[in-house]
């Protein structure tokens, strides 16, 4: 079974599909503890005061400490949710697909808080945490381009694309959103 993820800040849609692309499970999973800021770099350390959730932006050391705390929370909660997902499935998971991020994305706080990185840094953190959690379970990690994945899946599926990518809404009922389609499409194109 393959799991596709369409993540947001602090939560994600997870769709699990069989080898023949049938949806076996869909759910919202949490990626962060309840008392943690979902976007610490963007909201508490970013370059734009209009995004700040407080009057004072954190300095590099304080922001680094906060990001480390948020990352630990994300790792713990993500692991718990993936454990619950794996427990509920009828067989083993072989791969997890998550949005790609640039291989040269900076890691230092002083760089992450600057444009253009500050607007993506928190999202990249969630992708990395998901990939690390999957790898720790022995699942293959597949990175996908969110802008192209549905088109790539449609190419793989051919005449079955409409039925498989849009059909779950009529079979399973709501919700079946663009996030669900993207997560399912990511399982289709995973090697």
For residue 43, what pLDDT is reported?
85
Structural domain boundaries of the chain?
2-189
- Contacts of residue 34, defined as CB under 8 A and 6 or more positions apart, other chains included, come to none
- Contacts of residue 148, defined as CB under 8 A and 6 or more positions apart, other chains included, come to none
What residues in the chain have per-residue pLDDT under 50? none
For residue 53, what pLDDT is reported?
53
Look up the pTM and report it.
0.92
Q: Which tens digit of pLDDT belongs to each residue from 131-156? A: 999 999 999 999 999 999 999 999 99
For residue 169, what pLDDT is reported?
87
Nearest-angstrom CA–CA distance, 110 and 92:
41
Q: 146-185: b or e for each residue (b if 16 or more CB lie within 10 Å)? A: beebbeebbeebeeebeebbeebeeeeeeebeebbbbbbb
CATH-assigned architecture of domain 2-189 = 2-Layer Sandwich (3.30)
């Amino acid at each position: 079974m393959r799991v596709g993820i369409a993540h947001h800040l602090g939560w994600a849609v997870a769709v699990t599909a069989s080898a023949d692309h049938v949806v076996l499970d869909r759910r919202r999973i949490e990626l962060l503890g309840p008392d943690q800021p979902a976007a610490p770099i963007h909201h508490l350390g970013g370059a734009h005061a209009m995004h700040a959730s407080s009057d004072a932006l954190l300095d590099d050391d304080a922001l680094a400490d906060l990001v480390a705390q948020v990352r630990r929370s994300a790792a713990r909660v993500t692991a718990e949710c993936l454990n619950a997902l794996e427990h509920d499935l009828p067989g083993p998971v072989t791969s997890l697909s998550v949005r790609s991020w640039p291989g040269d994305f900076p890691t230092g706080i002083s760089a992450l808080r600057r444009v253009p990185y500050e607007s993506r840094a928190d999202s990249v953190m969630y992708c990395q945490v998901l990939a690390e959690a999957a790898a720790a379970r022995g699942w293959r990690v597949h990175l996908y381009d969110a802008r192209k994945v549905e088109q790539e899946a449609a190419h793989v599926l051919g005449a079955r694309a409409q039925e498989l990518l849009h059909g779950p809404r009529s079979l399973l009922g709501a919700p079946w959103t663009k996030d669900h389609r993207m997560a399912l499409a990511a399982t289709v194109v995973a090697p």
